Amino acid sequence: MMLEMMTGLRVLDLNRPPSQRNLVDWARPSLIAIKKLKGIMDPRLEQYYPSQGVIKAGELIRKCLDVNPNHRPSMEKVVASLEEINAIRMTPKWLKINNGHLMSPHHEQRYCDHRRENCYRSPLHAKQQGGV
């Protein structure tokens, strides 16, 4: 499921080229290097994500997809990893704070709740909510 969220692709899609129909098989080689991992990220996210979070998520996905079930992490470890990923703050250079709101270079407002760890929203979330 995390792989689907990161790539924006379905786990099985017969409309993709034969080598890309199975998301896990297609993406597995990209989970080992940050440049490759960023290459499979959903472009609709427009890089509104912390790079360190992508690295850790890729590591977690790779561990969960291990061919040997005995090497896969327990759900307790998965939850701990997800909590670590969630705690990573997004601080890209192009993002600036204006009156407590995060602003992108396109002047789209992303509201920031300083009581929470994460002070950003996915552009996809904002579109689903009818804008922020």
Q: Which residues of the chain are in CATH 1.10.510.10 domains?
A: 1-88
Q: Is the pLDDT of residue 124 over 50?
A: no
- For 54-81, b/e burial (b = at least 16 CB within 10 A) is bbbbbebbbebeeeeeeeeeeeeeeeeb
Domain 1-88: CATH class, spelled out: mainly alpha
Regarding pTM above 0.75, the answer is: no
State the amino acid at position 121 in one-letter form: R
CA distances from 104 to 90, 93, 131 (A): 12, 10, 14
Residue 101 is predicted with a pLDDT of: 54
Pairing of strands 109-111, 101-103: antiparallel
Residue 80's pLDDT band, with cuts at 50, 70 and 90, is very high
Give bridge partners of residue 24 from the DSSP assignment.
none
Question: What is the residue-averaged pLDDT of the chain?
Answer: 76
